[in-house]
């Protein structure tokens, strides 16, 4: 376990070496450094995890050095390993490693090869620090580091102006959320005089009672940070544009890192949220709303990666919903499974796009089933898992748990359940719409490039995980196997059910299964059997389609509300109005100068006249005063 520090350090070293010497090494060496550092970190994670589980302790602490120590504010570079961070580092390093391997082939002709791997490594490192940090300042470091790397990677192909725009948008929008998080940190420090997460977690219940204001405000501020990074309402707008980066980046952002940071934050600080039931309801409501909005938006997209992007927003919405009802471990379970199938889908989509000359438009694809069989089968598995097809996919087990607890959990209610159920239906429609359009029908663009081993192997591994990953946690009705939640139990309390609902579980599951399957059928009817039907619907609801397509118009709204006023104000004052004031002083001085210069004209009469007039004026004043 004392190797824990190596897990974030190795990717950091990788990034460091690649930045310094990457341009001098060959691609082979660079790929070994880039993928190897994360691979090694993954191996060490296995060792550390094994150690941790066999030691049967609740937490392990590693202090690297004292970072800051000012007037009571003490923050160290210290890592805290418990079941929650273990799950996260496992997913980050393993999925991260697979994405790195995939990238070796995907980026092989790119001139920024070394730079790409440097950023990728730094991304993994930041995310590892985020989840391992034992205090909130260090977590904030990882948090911002993740934001930075997303900026660097989304704008990786920098010569396109719009990529740079998307990159800056991602960084700035998430930073708006980070402001809230920072204020939350300030308040926590003021209340506890420490920013150590464990200390806060033990002291908070003693200091505050449930339902009081301070935990509510702090929880909402933390939530503000979480919605920024996790692309939830109202800060979700950056994620669809983040597609500008190379596909492996999207996989990394959406699956293993970045967007799940918000989920982690809330789970990590769940003690505070438990003290603020209102905040929990807000979390659940945001999750439920986001999952629906993003689902509808996904239904209308043409760009393959945009569908997946909206689906990520929607799936994270599920995690927020789970957090909102206090089903902590269900949220983390769905995070893990989602990481598997979403990475798979993005990587497969990337392979499709690469095979078709960087074609993103789904409607220009088609019939790829036979041309790209490996991609087809793996994509199918990923899609099935995303749509939560019953029994065989991992997505079913993780999503089903959320559906069930959204209603049956202590804090659950019927609205959350209905939103989640409707969301499940939409999910399976847009997922299979995507699948049918891309892989079935006639071939529209010729495949010129079949993926090699480095691309297909990660896909297959992830496909297997997307199938069997769900078996670590089985519901009461199907085997009742609780390995995953037992593991998390010391960190995240289990959720208690409402009374007398247990017998209804299988009915709910049946409903969920039917809903998922009917979604597939609908997609089949509209996009495979009789595509003209879908066109008809699109025509009849054109404005709505356009509205959904633009992601519910949030971009336009924010543009009008924030971006344009800011730019307008900045530009109108480019020459600094304050400076005009000083220029006024100068002008005045020059004016007086001209005025008085006029009096010094060398003509004696004028001077005499001046003296006389001056004398009269002074005498008059003197007389008046006396």
Partner 1 sequence: MILLTFIIILMAGGLMAWIAERWVPSLSRWISLTAFVINLVMALWIWVQSNGLVHSESVWISKFSVAWIPSFGINFSLALDGLSLLLLVLTFFLGILSVAISWNEIQYRIGFFHFNILWVLAGITGVFLTTDLFLFYFFWEVMLVPMYFLIGIWGHENRRYAAYKFFIFTQASGLLMLLAIVGLYFIHGNQTGVYTFDYFQLLDTKMSPGVERWLMLGFFAAFIVKLPVVPFHSWLPDAHSQAPTAGSLILAGLLLKTGAYGLIRFVLPLFPVASAELAPWAMLLGVVGIIYGAFLAFSQTDLKRLVAYTSVSHMGFVILGVFAFNELAMQGVVMQMITHGISTGALFILAGSIYERIHTREITNMGGFWKQVPFMGTIALIFVLASLGLPGLGNFVAEFLTLIGTWQVNKVYTLVATLGIVAATAYSLRIMQKVFLGKEISHHAILDLSMREKFILVPLVVVIIGLGLFPQVVIDAAKRTFAPAAEVSYTKQVVNGNNVQTIKKGEHE
Q: Which of 202, 212, 573, 593 binds partner 1 (CB under 8 A)?
A: 573
Q: Which of 576, 595, 602, 605 binds partner 1 (CB under 8 A)?
A: 576
**Minimum CB distance to partner 1 smaller for 66 or for 546:** 66
Q: Between β-strands 473-474 and 60-70, what pairing exists: parallel, antiparallel or unpaired?
A: unpaired
**Minimum CB distance to partner 1 smaller for 533 or for 563:** 563
Q: Shortest CA distance to 296 belongs to which of 285, 284, 307?
A: 307
Number of H helices, E strands in the chain: 28, 4
Dihedral pair phi/psi, residue 500, rounded to 5°: 55, 35
CB 449 within 8 A of CB 354: yes
**Minimum CB distance to partner 1 smaller for 148 or for 528:** 148
Q: Which of 2, 480, 540, 578 binds partner 1 (CB under 8 A)?
A: 578
Spatial CB neighbours of 294, under 8 Å, sequence gap ≥ 6: 236, 310, 311, 313, 314, 317
**Minimum CB distance to partner 1 smaller for 148 or for 522:** 148
Binding segment for partner 1 (CB under 8 A), chosen from 24-32, 258-266, 448-456, 564-572, is 564-572
- Nearest approach, Cβ of residue 70 and partner 1 (Å): 5
- Nearest approach, Cβ of residue 183 and partner 1 (Å): 6
Q: Which of 506, 521, 582, 607 binds partner 1 (CB under 8 A)?
A: 582
Spatial CB neighbours of 316, under 8 Å, sequence gap ≥ 6: 230, 231, 232, 259, 260, 262, 263, 287, 290, 338
Q: Which of 500, 579, 598, 623 binds partner 1 (CB under 8 A)?
A: 579
Q: Which of residues 122-181 bind partner 1 (CB under 8 A)?
A: 137, 140-141, 144-145, 148, 151, 155, 158-159, 161, 164, 168, 171-172, 175-176, 179
**Minimum CB distance to partner 1 smaller for 140 or for 417:** 140
Q: Which two tokens stand for residue 395?
A: 């997505």
Spatial CB neighbours of 31, under 8 Å, sequence gap ≥ 6: 104, 113, 117
What is the Cα gyration radius of the chain? 30
**Minimum CB distance to partner 1 smaller for 130 or for 243:** 130
Per CB under 8 A, 184 contacts partner 1: no
**What does DSSP assign to residue 26?**
-
- Nearest approach, Cβ of residue 350 and partner 1 (Å): 23
Q: Per-residue x/- marks for partner 1, 11-30, CB under 8 A?
A: --------x---x-------
Query: Kind and range of the H or E element at 62?
Result: strand 60-70
In whole angstroms, give the CA distance from residue 475 to residue 298: 29
- Nearest approach, Cβ of residue 228 and partner 1 (Å): 11
Q: Which two tokens stand for residue 241?
A: 């544009």
Per CB under 8 A, 292 contacts partner 1: no
Q: Shortest CA distance to 537 belongs to which of 529, 552, 527, 524?
A: 527
Question: Binding residues for partner 1, how many (CB under 8 A)?
Answer: 50
Per CB under 8 A, 55 contacts partner 1: no
Per CB under 8 A, 328 contacts partner 1: no
Q: Which of 446, 574, 594, 605 binds partner 1 (CB under 8 A)?
A: 574
Chain centroid to Cα 461, Å, comes to 24
Distances in Å between the alpha carbon of 556 and those of 152, 160, 280, 294, 547? 25, 22, 29, 16, 11
Q: Which of residues 106-125 bind partner 1 (CB under 8 A)?
A: 115
Per CB under 8 A, 570 contacts partner 1: yes
- Nearest approach, Cβ of residue 116 and partner 1 (Å): 13
- Nearest approach, Cβ of residue 36 and partner 1 (Å): 22
Q: Which of 468, 567, 590, 611 binds partner 1 (CB under 8 A)?
A: 567
Chain centroid to Cα 331, Å, comes to 15
Dihedral pair phi/psi, residue 234, rounded to 5°: -95, 15
Q: Which two tokens stand for residue 283?
A: 């979390």
- Nearest approach, Cβ of residue 326 and partner 1 (Å): 30
Inter-helix orientation angle 27-55/83-106, to 10°: 160
Q: Shortest CA distance to 256 belongs to which of 96, 38, 122?
A: 96
Per CB under 8 A, 220 contacts partner 1: no
Binding segment for partner 1 (CB under 8 A), chosen from 184-192, 255-263, 299-307, 388-396, is 184-192
**Minimum CB distance to partner 1 smaller for 60 or for 143:** 143
Distances in Å between the alpha carbon of 380 and those of 301, 333, 369, 431? 19, 21, 10, 10
Q: Which of residues 65-104 bind partner 1 (CB under 8 A)?
A: 65-73, 77
**Minimum CB distance to partner 1 smaller for 183 or for 522:** 183
Write out the residues near partner 1 by the rule CB under 8 A.
Answer: 19, 23, 65-73, 77, 115, 137, 140-141, 144-145, 148, 151, 155, 158-159, 161, 164, 168, 171-172, 175-176, 179, 182-183, 185-187, 189-190, 566-567, 569-571, 573-574, 576, 578-579, 581-582
């Amino acid at each position: 376990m004392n190797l824990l520090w190596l897990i974030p350090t190795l990717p950091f070293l990788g990034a460091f070496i690649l930045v310094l010497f990457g341009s001098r090494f060959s691609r082979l060496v660079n790929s070994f450094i880039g993928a190897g550092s994360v691979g090694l970190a993954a191996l060490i994670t296995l060792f550390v995890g094994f150690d941790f589980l066999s030691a049967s302790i609740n937490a392990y602490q590693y202090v690297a050095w004292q970072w800051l120590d000012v007037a009571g504010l003490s923050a160290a570079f210290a890592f805290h390993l418990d079941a929650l961070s273990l799950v996260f580092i496992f997913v980050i390093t393993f999925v991260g490693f697979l994405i790195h391997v995939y990238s070796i082939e995907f980026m092989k002709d790119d001139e920024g090869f070394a730079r790409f791997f440097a950023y990728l490594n730094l991304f993994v490192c930041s995310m590892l620090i985020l989840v391992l940090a034992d205090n909130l300042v260090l977590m904030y470091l990882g948090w911002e580091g993740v934001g930075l790397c997303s900026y660097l990677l989304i704008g990786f192909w920098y010569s396109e102006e719009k990529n740079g725009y998307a990159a800056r948008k991602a960084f700035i929008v998430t930073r708006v959320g980070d402001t809230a998080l920072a204020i939350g940190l300030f308040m926590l420090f003021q209340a506890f005089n420490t920013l150590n997460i464990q200390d806060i977690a033990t002291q908070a219940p003693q200091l505050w009672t449930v339902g009081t204001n301070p935990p509510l405000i702090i929880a909402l501020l933390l939530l503000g940070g979480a919605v920024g990074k996790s692309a939830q309402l109202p800060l979700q707008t950056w994620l669809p544009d983040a597609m500008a980066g190379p596909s492996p980046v999207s996989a990394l952002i959406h699956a293993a890192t970045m967007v799940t940071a918000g989920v982690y934050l809330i789970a990590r600080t769940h003690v505070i949220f438990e003290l603020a039931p209102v905040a929990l309801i807000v979390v659940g409501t945001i999750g439920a709303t986001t999952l629906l909005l993003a689902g509808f938006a996904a239904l209308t997209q043409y760009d393959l990666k945009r569908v997946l992007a909206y689906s990520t927003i929607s799936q994270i919405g599920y995690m927020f919903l789970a957090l909102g009802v206090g089903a902590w471990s269900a949220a983390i379970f769905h995070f893990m499974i989602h990481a598997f199938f979403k990475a798979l889908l993005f990587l497969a989509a990337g392979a499709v796009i690469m095979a078709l000359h960087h074609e993103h438009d789904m409607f220009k694809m088609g019939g790829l089933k036979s041309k790209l069989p490996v991609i087809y089968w793996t994509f199918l598995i990923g899609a099935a898992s995303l749509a939560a097809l019953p029994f065989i996919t991992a997505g079913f087990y993780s999503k089903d748990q959320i559906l069930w607890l959204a209603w049956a959990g202590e804090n659950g209610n019927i609205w959350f359940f209905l939103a989640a159920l409707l969301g499940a239906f939409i999910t399976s429609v847009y997922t299979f719409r995507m699948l049918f359009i891309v892989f079935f029908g006639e071939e529209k663009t010729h495949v010129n490039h079949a993926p090699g081993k480095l691309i297909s192997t990660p896909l297959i591994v992830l496909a297997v995980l997307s199938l069997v990953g769900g078996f670590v946690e089985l519901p009461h009705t199907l085997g009742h196997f609780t390995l995953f939640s037992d593991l998390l139990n010391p960190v995240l309390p289990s959720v208690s059910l409402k009374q007398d609902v247990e017998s209804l579980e299988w009915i709910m599951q049946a409903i969920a299964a039917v809903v998922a399957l009917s979604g597939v059928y609908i997609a089949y009817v509209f996009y495979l059997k009789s595509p003209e039907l879908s066109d008809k619907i699109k025509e009849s609801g054109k404005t709505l389609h356009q509205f959904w397509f633009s992601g519910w118009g949030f971009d336009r709204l924010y543009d009008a509300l924030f971006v344009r006023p800011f730019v307008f104000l900045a530009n109108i004052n480019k020459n600094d109005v304050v400076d005009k004031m000083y220029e006024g002083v100068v002008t005045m001085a020059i004016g007086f100068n001209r005025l008085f210069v006029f009096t010094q004209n060398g003509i004696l009469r004028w001077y005499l006249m001046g003296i006389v007039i001056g004398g009269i004026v002074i005498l008059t004043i003197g007389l008046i005063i006396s």
